[in-house]
Amino acid sequence: MSGIGPVEPGEDTYHHPAAPLTGATRPRLRLTVPPRHRRKAALGVAATLTAGGCVYVLTAPSPPPGPPPPWPSQVVGFAYGGAAPRSGHMGAFTFGVSISTEPGRRVTVDAITQPSPALAVSTEPPAPFTVAAGDSREVLVTVYVLDCGEVPRNTGLPFLDVTLRNDRAVQKQSRILGGGYPEDLGAAIGKACVHSVP
């Protein structure tokens, strides 16, 4: 070929009926992933999600603990119920006590005693007993005079020692019963010890 001019189509460069026309898009290549590779990929994704969940659960901050329950002495009340008539032991004084608790706070009374060794105490029902949450319980307390010469004649007489227990702690404390308890107890002791030498 010689000369200058357009390039002529060569041999077998005519338009073939099965060939796409000019400007047509190229056929897309379809990639296929074998089933075993798909399973491995799914297992890998599941393992990654599981590991991430475990890490989150193990490293997530735990919520702060709630406040502890109150001390037993903070949720219980004692009220003097007056002298109770009771026949029996000479030198004994029986009286009623109403023990109440706040709603949602039950308390167990482990013991009721008297600080003086010259006096002994028993209760009905016998301790330990539980006062249900938000409830009150009537208890009969009997004080026995053991030694008239050693009975206190001072301000220590009105005290009752109580041991209280709840979900938080066990507490032992002295309770002062009002409502005429000191006078009633003093009169009962004076009657029991009327013949003793001061």
Burial class of residue 116 (count of CB atoms within 10 Å of its CB; 0-12, 13-18, 19+): buried
pLDDT of residue 29: 62
pLDDT of residue 133: 93
φ, ψ of residue 22 to 5 degrees: the values are -65, 145
pLDDT of residue 101: 94
Structural contact between residues 139 and 124, judged by C-beta atoms closer than 8 angstroms: yes
- Neighbouring-strand partners of residue 121: 143
Structural contact between residues 93 and 185, judged by C-beta atoms closer than 8 angstroms: yes
User: How high is the mean pLDDT of the chain?
Assistant: 80
Distance, in Å, from the CA atom of 60 to the CA atom of 13, rounded to the nearest integer, reads: 72
pLDDT of residue 89: 67
Distance, in Å, from the CA atom of 107 to the CA atom of 175, rounded to the nearest integer, reads: 15
Closest to 79 (Cα-Cα) out of 183, 176, 194 = 176
pLDDT in tens, 72-124: 999 999 999 988 876 556 678 899 999 999 998 999 999 999 888 888 999 99
Sign of CA dihedral 123, 125, 126, 128: negative
Does the bond joining 125 to the residue before it have cis omega, within 30 degrees of 0?
yes
Q: What residue has token string 């070929």?
A: 1
Look at residue 8 and tell me whether its pLDDT is greater than 50: yes
Question: Region 163-170: what's the mean pLDDT?
Answer: 93
Whole-structure pTM value:
0.63
Q: pLDDT band at residue 178, thresholds of 50, 70 and 90?
A: confident
pLDDT of residue 60: 75
Look at residue 23 and tell me whether its pLDDT is greater than 60: no
